[in-house]
Amino acid sequence: MRITPLLTEDVVDVLERQHSQIRGAFAKAALPGPGRRKAFENLVRLLAVHEAAEEAHVHPKAHRALAMGSAVTARRRREEKEAKELLTALWRTGPDCKGYLRKLTRLAAAVQRHAAREEREEFAALRQAVSARRLRLLAAEVRLTQWYAPTRPHRWVNNELTNKLAGPLFGPLDRGLDLARHLRAQLSGTG
């Protein structure tokens, strides 16, 4: 992830850039070969921290600030719940098992539809309804949340409250598990 000075980008800039990174991560996770597992783990991490921040900060702000915020964010949360269920199934399958590419393709389609709708229905409206200063502050909140957010899907963590409560608990736990898996892979010579 590129480091940018705080308060120079607004939240829409940050999230649209991450949408682009996620699209690229899907392409890399589909490639065969020894780098697939690492690409898959990177994809899962990107999706998990991105959605945690959106659910904790962006959707609640849109819900309050937009004229049709309640309806727009309800649709986005349903899409995110579906994507999180697909991601959880993919996580359980893993990149080395039968059915991986089929599940990855299905998840990619759902995530890309969701991202396009966010950009079109939610992000554009946020830029109209919320001050530039507040959008920059929201970007800082998103970055902070992503710093400690869980790195894998937790299906029941799917709204503002559960993300704000579970993030500080599951984020460090997931990162510890990620580190242990990485060290095991290095010791076995596969990482």
Tell whether the model's pLDDT for residue 156 goes beyond 90: no
pLDDT surpasses 90 at 173: no
Angle at 23 between CA 61 and CA 156, to 5 degrees: 50
User: Is residue 6 in some structural domain?
Assistant: no
Instruction: Tell me the residue range of the domain where 66 lies.
Output: 11-188
Report the range of poorest mean pLDDT among 26-35, 49-58, 160-169, 176-185.
160-169
Domain-located, residue 1: no
What pLDDT is recorded for position 164? 66
- Neighbouring CB atoms inside 10 A of 137's CB total 17
Which tokens sit at 158? 């799917």
**pLDDT per residue over 94-112, tens digit each?**
999 999 999 999 999 999 9
User: In this structure, is residue 2 part of a structural domain?
Assistant: no
Please indicate, yes or no, if residue 52 is contained in any of the structural domains.
yes
What long-range pairs does 99-105 form, CB within 8 A, spacing at least 24?
101/30, 104/26, 104/29, 104/30, 105/30
Rounded-to-integer distance, Cα 187 and Cα 178, Å: 14
Separation between Cα atoms, residue 149 and residue 145, nearest integer Å:
6
Look at the chain and report how many structural domains it folds into: 1
Given a cut of 90, is residue 190 above it in pLDDT? Answer: no
The answer as to whether 65 is a domain residue is: yes
d(CA 25, CA 8): 25
Does 3 fall in a domain? no
